Amino acid sequence: MKKFIFILMIFASFLLYGCENEKADTKKSEKIKSPKVKVVLYKVKKKTIRNAIEQIGTVMPEKEAGIGIKVPGVVKRVFVNESDYVKEGQKLLELDSTDLNLELQVALSTLKDAKNLFNLTLLKLKNLKKDYKRFKVLYEKKVIPQSKFDEIETTYKLTKIELESAKVKIEKAKASIDILKQKIKDTTLNAPFDGIIAKKWINEGETVAGIASKPLFFIINIDNVNIKVDIPEVRSNAIELNQKALIKVDSFPNTIYVGKVIEINPAVDFKTRTFPVKILAENRKHHLKPGMFCRVTIIIKEKKDVLACPINSIMKEDSKLYLFVYENGRVWKKYIKIGLKNQNSAEVLEGLKEGEQVVIDTNFSLKNGLEVMPVPTL
């Protein structure tokens, strides 16, 4: 009997030990249960989608000119300094014109003498013409000999030649005067357009050689600026005249300057395999300085107020595109069709509604209906 009770007690101990182990295993399995997949969500909304080319550009003045003076001379006055703003026609420099003014006085005196000579010769010719006609009648009536008529005829013809010579002297004197007046005018150098004096290479008292001399001033106009951008040849078919361009510079990081494509050079640089494009941008505040580097975005195509989702939420299955939409703690697979896209976003034509939340940076382990743990929505 005692032996039976002992065996029964051992059997009961084994049963109790088995139950406890089963409970422990159950608790352990609960502890190692797989955690929910964490996902980042994006709420689908309407936005502007741009397909664009982004390149580094260089700022250049819309207008620039190195200007010199046409005539030689000594600089009498310099009216501007570097960085001065000037208006078109404003006086920049003046040469000493004393010698030219003296030459002009001589030329005016020569013209006066030529006119006096012309008037005297003209009066002489009028009198000779009367004598010539009278002598011709007398000669035809054989009242005077031929020698007398020949004398008056020769004098008459020579006087006509003298009158023509006097005319030529008048024209030459007038031409000399016009040239001297132009030279005197050219002793003053004026600004060819509104702009800023970027460089000045002349001082008062210096001598300039005239038309063969180097520029005395370098003037620029930056009310508008040109942006030079080198575009890779593979994008040549995408660039067109009048395309919109957005420009940013580091010195004004919160400002976007708007321009447009105004020139496309068809020649490709064989070293860089790029072709230059010129963009015109308004610069009324003169923030953009010549020589600055800038980031340029040339907009190839743009759609405003369209439904869009991040490009990194879209996956491909054969020829179909799909993404995962979050709803009530689970993700659901949806097929979509897209339109315009860029490296960040894609226009959604079919398959999504505004306000739906899609999974971005998609994990390929996601399955339809999988329970997930979302992180804060972007």
- CA 268 vs. chain centroid, Å, equals 19
pLDDT tens string 245-267: 999 999 999 999 999 999 999 89
Mean of the pLDDT values across residues 137-162? 81
Measured between alpha carbons, how far is residue 100 from residues 170, 177, 249, 349 in Å? 20, 10, 52, 79
Strands 37-43 and 372-374: parallel
Distance CA 367, CA 330 (A): 9
Mean of the pLDDT values across residues 357-363? 83
Whether residue 346 contacts residue 311, with contact meaning beta carbons closer than 8 Å, is answered with yes
pLDDT band at 29 (very low <50, low <70, confident <90, very high): very low
The residue length of the chain stands at 378
Which has more pLDDT, 167 or 377?
Answer: 167
Strands 357-360 and 372-374: unpaired
Q: Is the pLDDT of residue 136 over 90?
A: no
Q: How many other C-beta atoms can be found within 10 angstroms of the C-beta atom of residue 164?
A: 11
The two structure tokens encoding residue 295: 């980031």
Spatial neighbors of 2 by CB under 8 A, at least 6 apart, are none
pLDDT band at 212 (very low <50, low <70, confident <90, very high): low
Spatial neighbors of 145 by CB under 8 A, at least 6 apart, are none
Strands 188-190 and 195-200: unpaired
Give buried/exposed letters for 187-206 (b at 16+ CB in 10 A, else e).
bbbebbeebbbbebebeeee
| End-to-end CA separation in angstroms for the chain | 77
pLDDT of residue 363: 65
Which uninterrupted H or E stretch holds 315? strand 315-317
The secondary structure of the chain in percent helix, strand, coil, rounded to multiples of 5, reads: 35, 40, 25
The two structure tokens encoding residue 132: 């010539």
Q: Is the pLDDT of residue 5 over 70?
A: no
Measured between alpha carbons, how far is residue 319 from residues 207, 264, 359 in Å? 79, 37, 20
Q: Is the pLDDT of residue 140 over 80?
A: no
Burial of 29 (0-12, 13-18, 19+ CB in 10 A): exposed
Whether residue 148 contacts residue 132, with contact meaning beta carbons closer than 8 Å, is answered with no
The mean predicted confidence, pLDDT, of the chain is 87
Mean of the pLDDT values across residues 39-44? 92
How many alpha carbons fall within 13 Å on the CB side of residue 148? 12
pLDDT band at 175 (very low <50, low <70, confident <90, very high): very high
DSSP character string of 135-156:
HHHHHHTTSS-HHHHHHHHHHH
Q: Select 38-49+304-374's CATH number: 2.40.420.20, 3.40.50.720, 2.30.30.100, 3.20.20.70.
A: 2.40.420.20
Q: Is the pLDDT of residue 318 over 50?
A: yes
329: left (phi over 0), alpha (psi -120 to 50) or beta: left
The two structure tokens encoding residue 253: 């990081």
Closest CA to 362 of 41, 18, 2: 41
pLDDT of residue 343: 87
pLDDT band at 149 (very low <50, low <70, confident <90, very high): confident
Burial of 115 (0-12, 13-18, 19+ CB in 10 A): middle
Look up the pTM and report it.
0.69
Q: Which amino acid is at 4?
A: F
